[in-house]
Amino acid sequence: MNAIEKKLIQLKKENRLGLIAHAVLGYPNMEKSLEIINSLISNGSDFLELQIPFSDPVADGETIMKACEVALKSGMNTDEAFELVGNLRRAVNVPILLMAYYNTIFRYGIKRFCKKAKDLRVSGIIVPDIPPEEEIAEKFITTSLEYDIYPIRVVSPSSSINRLEINARFARGFVYCISHFGVTGTKTVVDDRLTRYLQRVKQIMKLPVAVGFGLSKAEQIEALKGVADIVIVGSAIIKNYNEGGIKQVSSFIKSLKESTMGKGYI
């Protein structure tokens, strides 16, 4: 059984929201990146979303874009990213999700990328810029599944019923639901519109939903209980690190973890 499935079963038994913490590999450098990621784990993250930095991260806001730029300038590339994941794997036992833009995977080689990820016990890959229609030519989803790596599908409030149905054919594990129009880091309002959207996704795709983009406060997570299954926090982690270093990141993640407790399933 894929580690994502195992974690989802655990979360359901514990009746709480899952927490995915996002980090840009190599930001601000290799050593500090490891420190940040270890802090995310030690303070309660249920999953790790580790982003391989890219020069033009179109789905990301200013904070993550700048982090990618710094990481690339410090020498981070795909091989270095895999090396960092390998260093983590000796001490980390939570599911690891790699996040990358498709050009990175394409240039590295799809089979080569998936095999390397499998060797490092990566459980899922999030690729926000490859639509299902490309599968006929690219075989990215097919290849990732051959290596027991779940291709996490990304949907947004603009996704029509038809688009959700198409994505449902390929989705595994959970669905990554962008909370609002725009890029990462902009504030999310948990209102009836967001609730209806998440309920629609669940009904059509028949999988747990993870909500990301713009989550940074415990009250937002509290409001998502009974609506979402997993919350994803990214830009806010970088902002906390930039403001107060590892100590502030640790306190921030700890507070978010506390807010996930309680009823998390509908």
- Residues assigned a catalytic role: 49, 60
Residue 49 three-state SS: strand
Look at residue 261 and give its three-state secondary structure: coil
Q: Torsion angle of alpha carbons 132, 134, 135, 140, nearest 10°?
A: -100
Type and span of the H or E element at 137 = helix 135-138
Q: Are strands 209-212 and 96-99 parallel, antiparallel or unpaired?
A: unpaired
Q: What's the start-to-end Cα distance of the chain, in Å?
A: 24
Which pair of tokens denotes residue 125?
Answer: 């890959």
Contacts of residue 52, Cβ cutoff 8 Å, sequence gap at least 6: 25, 76, 78, 81, 98, 99, 100, 104
Instruction: Show the tokens assigned to 85.
Output: 């994941």
Q: Pairing between strand 18-24 and 150-155? A: unpaired
- Number of residues in the chain: 266
- Please, are residues 74 and 30 in contact by the beta-carbon 8 Å criterion? yes
Contact by Cβ (8 Å): 213, 190: no
The amino acid sitting at 62 is E
